[in-house]
């Protein structure tokens, strides 16, 4: 017997042989009583859990948030007080591809942060873009269907994507970012992160401020062109994992600076009156000259997970995980997400997903939820299993009550502001691009439109024209080149 640990069944019984099944005679059939074999095969059949419905392919690591500045006048959140250091888990992802997809694909990137604060977990589940394609959660499942596989061809459909985008002009801003250089970062370390939504901060005096969160990469922005990505993917499909895991394994500590934009609660109406944009519209940014970036601190990544499945795959990021001092806003998309994520986690992982080590808060957890799958570490006080009780069970703490939100209005299904200006923010972005960036934008769009029916292309071009005539004209010209190059090749993925 060596000094290595003894192999056992999952119920702890020592195992004599892990190489040979139990058979009737040397060449005879295997016995059903070989419980070791049955356990091993049965376990293997259950090794996969459903992948995330979106953002299935991901890369993550642990790190630390350090608050270097004083933003305490805006928030009482302990995690945001000057000098505080908080452990965190980051998970980056692509949106559309499945778990086996190549990393270097053109797509929006997820940018999720879980801060293990002393008052519970705070999750910021953002993207590498400050805006999104749609502004109403009712549109989200349809949008995602256009990014996933066509039900008949089982291939991605460019037709579906451009059909949807051209019918939802609010997507123009995000489409422009996606098709620009920043739509294909070289690694997760070379991109910014944004909370994207408007959230809120509230302080001890009960004052609320609307807030947007920004994380700027210290590694600089680095992107692949489409052609470079083809080469990269030809050599490796796992380039993000190699880069992030490899950097941290070699002692590197990729870092981001954290900023906020802050809007006093009552200013949201003025912002709307001045700009025509709602402060809660996820397809819009708050211009920096109106709401400058305020530095909060920095975070670095410094430790890889020991087990990818249990720490990265089973991590559960949830926009409704906030802590006292941080709150929501009326942003409809955010409101939809507050329901969607914990619902997804209960289905994908199990009822007590928050009890798994990676999701478990580092602060004390006391609740009265009972039973269900994976109830690890539920506290036992056999008589205090309901609330209120007279037997010493946990009680509420009114000192953490959030100030009330001030809402008014008539309940209705309001159309997305038909008068909304979908064009000036993409225009500001387009006009920031240099000639090279513009030309790559046109080329990327033309490539992405390959095989899309003419009437959809025309509808989308009319939208680009409204952003800037040079935008529409540039894409038209790139499409002419693309048509010459693709002559005779049927690349349509659509089943029209
Ligand atoms: P600013 O000039 O103050 O800010 C421009 C922002 O754009 C910076 O955050 C910069 O990020 C980012 N940016 C720079 N180059 C590119 C690029 N090639 N692709 C994508 N983003 C880039 O102007 P405004 O605040 O008035 O915003 C103008 C436009 O910039 C917006 O309409 C929006 O499209 C885009 N933008 C605005 C942001 C905001 O929160 N206001 C955030 C990100 C983009 P960095 O400093 O990291 O390079
Ligand atoms: C993942 C729903 C919009 C960023 C997910 C998941 C669901 C979901 C169900 C899978 C969760 C899981 O299984 O763990 C929605 C809905 C949206 C929406 C209903 C709109 C109403 C957004 C927006 C952003 C975003 C606007 C970014 C600003 C992410 C990220 C992940 C994710 C980063 C991966 C989280 C991780 O790393 O585990 N989304 N989403 N989503 N979503 Fe969304």
Which DSSP string do the residues of 364-393 spell out, in sequence order? --------SS--TT----TT-SSSS-SSS-
55 classed as catalytic = yes
For residue 216, the ligand 1 atom closest to its alpha carbon is 47
**Binding annotation for heme:** 341
Ligand 1 midpoint to CA 398 (Å): 41
Global pTM value: 0.96
Ligand 2 midpoint to CA 55 (Å): 7
Helix (H) or strand (E) holding 431: helix 424-432
Q: Residue 441 in 3-state DSSP? A: helix
Closest Cα to atom 44 of ligand 1? 130
Ligand 1 midpoint to CA 213 (Å): 14
Ligand 1 midpoint to CA 18 (Å): 59
Q: Residue 93 in 3-state DSSP? A: strand
Domains of the chain, start order: 58-132+183-349 (2.40.180.10), 423-484 (no CATH)
For residue 111, the ligand 2 atom closest to its alpha carbon is 33
Q: Give the per-residue pLDDT at 486.
A: 59
Ligand 2 midpoint to CA 123 (Å): 12
With a Cβ cut-off of 6 Å, ligand 1 is lined by 130, 177, 180-182, 192, 216, 285-288, 425, 428-429, 432-433, 437
Q: Give the number of the ligand closest to the Cα of residue 54.
A: 2
493 classed as catalytic = no
CA torsion through residues 28, 29, 33, 37, sign: positive
DSSP sequence for 116-169: EEBTEEEEEEEESSSS-S-SSGGGHHHHHHHHSB-TTT-SB-HHHHHHHHHH-G
Pocket test for ligand 1, best of 111, 214, 429 (most atoms within 8 A of CB): 429
Which residues of the chain fall short of a pLDDT of 70? 1, 417-419, 485-496
Please state the φ and ψ torsions of residue 112, each to the nearest 5 degrees.
-105, 135
- Do the Cβ atoms of 85 and 330 come closer than 8 Å? no
CA torsion through residues 27, 29, 33, 36, sign: positive
Q: Give the number of the ligand closest to the Cα of residue 291.
A: 1
- How many angstroms separate the Cα of 308 from the Cα of each of 40, 104, 297, 350, 466? 21, 20, 28, 18, 46
Q: Which of 321, 398, 411 is nearest to 115 (CA)?
A: 321
Q: How many angstroms separate the CA atoms of 365 and 404, rounded?
A: 25
Helix/strand/coil (H, E, C) string of 478-490?
Answer: HHHHHHHHHCCCC
Q: Give the per-residue pLDDT at 285.
A: 98
**How is residue 93 written in tokens?**
């992802």
43, 45, 55, 121: which is the annotated catalytic residue? Answer: 55
Which CB contacts under 8 angstroms, 24+ apart, belong to 32-36? 35/9, 36/9
Give the rounded percent of residues in the chain with a pLDDT score beyond 90: 92
Q: Which of 256, 248, 255, 241 is nearest to 293 (CA)?
A: 256
Closest Cα to atom 13 of ligand 2? 52
Q: How many angstroms separate the CA atoms of 3 and 476, rounded?
A: 71
With a Cβ cut-off of 6 Å, ligand 2 is lined by 52-55, 58, 91, 93, 110, 112, 125-127, 132, 137, 140, 196, 282, 315-317, 333, 336-337, 340-341, 344-345, 348
Closest Cα to atom 14 of ligand 2? 316
- Do the Cβ atoms of 243 and 198 come closer than 8 Å? no
């Amino acid at each position: 017997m060596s000094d290595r640990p003894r192999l056992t069944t999952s119920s702890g019984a020592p195992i004599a042989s892990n190489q040979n099944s139990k058979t009737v005679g040397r060449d005879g059939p295997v016995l059903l009583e070989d419980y070791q074999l049955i356990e091993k095969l049965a376990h293997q059949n259950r090794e996969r859990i459903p992948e995330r419905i979106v953002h299935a392919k991901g890369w993550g690591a642990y790190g630390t948030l350090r608050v270097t500045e004083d933003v305490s006048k805006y928030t009482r959140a302990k995690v945001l007080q000057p000098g505080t250091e908080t452990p965190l888990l980051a998970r980056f992802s692509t949106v559309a591809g499945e778990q086996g997809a190549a990393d270097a694909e053109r797509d929006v990137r997820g940018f999720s942060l879980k801060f293990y604060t002393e008052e519970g977990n705070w999750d910021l589940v953002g993207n590498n873009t400050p805006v999104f394609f749609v502004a109403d959660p009712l549109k989200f499942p349809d949008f995602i269907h256009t990014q996933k596989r066509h039900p008949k061809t089982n291939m991605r459909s460019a037709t579906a994507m451009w059909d949807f985008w051209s019918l939802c002009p609010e997507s123009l801003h995000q489409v422009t970012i996606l098709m620009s250089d920043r739509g294909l970062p070289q690694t997760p370390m070379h991109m910014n992160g944004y909370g994207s939504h408007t959230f809120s901060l509230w302080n001890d005096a009960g004052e609320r401020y609307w807030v947007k969160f920004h994380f700027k990469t210290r590694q600089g922005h680095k992107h692949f062109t489409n052609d470079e990505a083809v080469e990269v993917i030809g050599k490796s499909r796992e380039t993000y994992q190699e880069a992030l895991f490899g950097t941290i394994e070699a002692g590197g500590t990729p870092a981001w600076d954290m900023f906020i934009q802050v809007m006093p609660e009552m200013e949201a109406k003025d912002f709307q009156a001045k700009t025509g944009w709602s402060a809660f519209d996820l397809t819009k940014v708050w211009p920096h000259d109106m709401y400058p970036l305020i530095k909060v601190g920095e975070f670095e990544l410094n430790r890889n997970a020991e087990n990818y499945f249990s720490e990265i795959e089973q991590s559960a990021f949830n926009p409704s995980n906030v802590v006292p001092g941080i709150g929501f806003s009326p942003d409809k998309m955010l409101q939809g997400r507050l329901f969607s994520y914990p619902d997804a986690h209960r289905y994908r992982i199990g009822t007590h997903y928050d009890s798994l080590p990676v999701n478990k808060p580092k602060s004390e957890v006391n609740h009265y939820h009972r039973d269900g799958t994976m109830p690890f570490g539920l506290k036992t006080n056999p008589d205090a299993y309901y609330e209120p009780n007279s037997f010493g069970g946990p009680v509420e703490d009114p000192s953490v009550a959030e100030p009330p939100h001030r809402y008014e209005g008539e309940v209705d299904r309001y159309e997305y502001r038909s008068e909304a200006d979908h064009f000036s923010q993409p225009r500001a972005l387009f006009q920031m691009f240099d000639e090279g960036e513009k030309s790559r934008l046109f080329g990327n769009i033309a490539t992405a439109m390959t095989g899309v029916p003419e009437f959809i292309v025309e509808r989308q071009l009319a939208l680009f024209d409204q952003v800037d005539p040079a935008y529409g004209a540039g894409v038209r010209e790139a499409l002419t080149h693309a048509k010459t190059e693709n002559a005779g090749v049927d690349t349509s993925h659509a089943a029209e």
